[in-house]
Homo-oligomer: A and B are copies of this chain.
């Protein structure tokens, strides 16, 4: 939770002097951002507006978040972070990938944060520090279970050992992010099923092709 914050609170030896940080303020600010971000472009959200809606002062916001993007990142994590479950072994690659993708696409459908993610991606491409933060908290946790699923499939013998796992993960996530960001078509359940089927077929086929 606190890991996005600047000094990363290391070592609690000294007894913490001064007035402690207001948890109420912190929550109010994150909530304000989450709400404002829903119907607006990130660039259309002013820190003044966040401060006013949160009943906080701008100084307080800047004290704890060094940029609007980090603030939004934190707000999104605050909204979502319960939803990164460790994937259980369902016994098949198809089942494992479904268990990863379906809850995520459902979540995406619920809250229209597509444009927010796009904004964060922009920032990540320009600011390396932010990029690291973004990947650590957003991309990494998504890719890991997918990677595990492919690895388990290799262990099981479902797919060949020489499967390019990283490419496979991109093959899986790419199409969803593509629609999410380009909005040329919706991320429906039907689409999810199609992509899952394709991906499983793709990595399995090379098996057959080889064999």
A residues near B (Cβ < 8 Å) are 40-44, 114-115, 118-119, 121-126, 131, 135, 139, 143, 164, 166-168, 170-171, 173-179, 181-185, 191, 194-195, 197-199, 201-206, 208-209
Contact = CB atoms under 8 A, between A and B. Distances in A.
Contact of A42 (B122, B184, B185): B122
Interface of A is mostly: helix
A124 B182 contact: yes
B183 A131 contact: yes
30 contacts: A41-B122, A43-B43, A43-B122, A44-B126, A114-B125, A115-B125, A119-B122, A121-B181, A125-B181, A167-B175, A167-B195, A170-B178, A170-B185, A171-B171, A171-B195, A171-B198, A174-B175, A174-B177, A174-B178, A174-B179, A175-B175, A177-B178, A198-B199, A198-B202, A198-B206, A201-B202, A201-B205, A201-B206, A204-B205, A205-B205
B167 A123 contact: no
Contacts of A119: 122
